[in-house]
Amino acid sequence: MTAPRNVVLAGPMGSGKSAVGRLLAQWLDRQFVDTDALISAATGESIPELFEKQGEAAFRELEADAIEAVCERDSLVVAVGGGAVLDPGNAERLRRSSRVVVLDATSEELAARVEGGRRAGQRPLLDGVEDVTARLEALRGERERAYADVAHASFDTTGQSLERVAAAVAAWLEEQE
């Protein structure tokens, strides 16, 4: 029997990748891995610290390494950062090794969900941004093609509880067996 493929949650900041991923991992009795957390553990720096001290390009290299590492494993539920699938190498690796689920929501709802973390300085790409909805909308324009291309399945989480989203993803996964 082949080992179960990883389940990868991708999509924009605030789409619920980590929260849904944690719940899904619990239900499926799998380990949950967040690539941002792997990067922080490997470097001893938070994501905002890495952006500030080393810049986004250095962060993207570390992100590619983290993605390569998770793709060599199986049976995981993985949340990747919102920009991870823009790199074609990352996207290809993830699609080949895993079932890739893209979560999304309206930019207004994403903005509301990230506001607390943003104020706490946890969102380097939204640092000092006045109109967060507009910024997220601009990122959507830059990224939606990459999300659509990498997705084996996509879910709109607007107005949905974590449990409902996780249940919808779990039902889809069951259909893939």
Residue from the set 81, 91, 103, 173 that interacts with ligand S3P by CB under 6 A = 81
Residues 104-163 that bind ligand S3P (CB under 6 A): 123-125
In the complex, the smallest distance separating the C-beta of residue 17 from ligand S3P, rounded to whole angstroms, is 6
Q: Are 162 and 19 in contact (CB under 8 A)?
A: yes
Residue from the set 16, 21, 24, 82 that interacts with ligand S3P by CB under 6 A = 82
- The side-by-side arrangement of strands in the sheet containing 153-156 is 31-34, 76-79, 6-10, 98-104, 153-156
In the complex, the smallest distance separating the C-beta of residue 81 from ligand S3P, rounded to whole angstroms, is 2
In the complex, the smallest distance separating the C-beta of residue 148 from ligand S3P, rounded to whole angstroms, is 16
CA distance 155 to 5: 19
Rank residues 93 and 123 by Cβ distance to ligand S3P and give the closer one.
Answer: 123
> Closest residue to ligand S3P, Cβ-based?
81
Instruction: Count residues near ligand S3P (CB under 6 A).
Output: 10
Q: Are 103 and 15 in contact (CB under 8 A)?
A: yes
Rank residues 138 and 176 by Cβ distance to ligand S3P and give the closer one.
Answer: 138
In the complex, the smallest distance separating the C-beta of residue 79 from ligand S3P, rounded to whole angstroms, is 6
Q: Are 100 and 154 in contact (CB under 8 A)?
A: no
Q: x/- site string to ligand S3P, residues 9 to 48, per CB under 6 A?
A: ----x---x------------------x----------x-
In the complex, the smallest distance separating the C-beta of residue 25 from ligand S3P, rounded to whole angstroms, is 16
Q: Which residues bind to ligand S3P, rule: CB under 6 A?
A: 13, 17, 36, 47, 81-83, 123-125
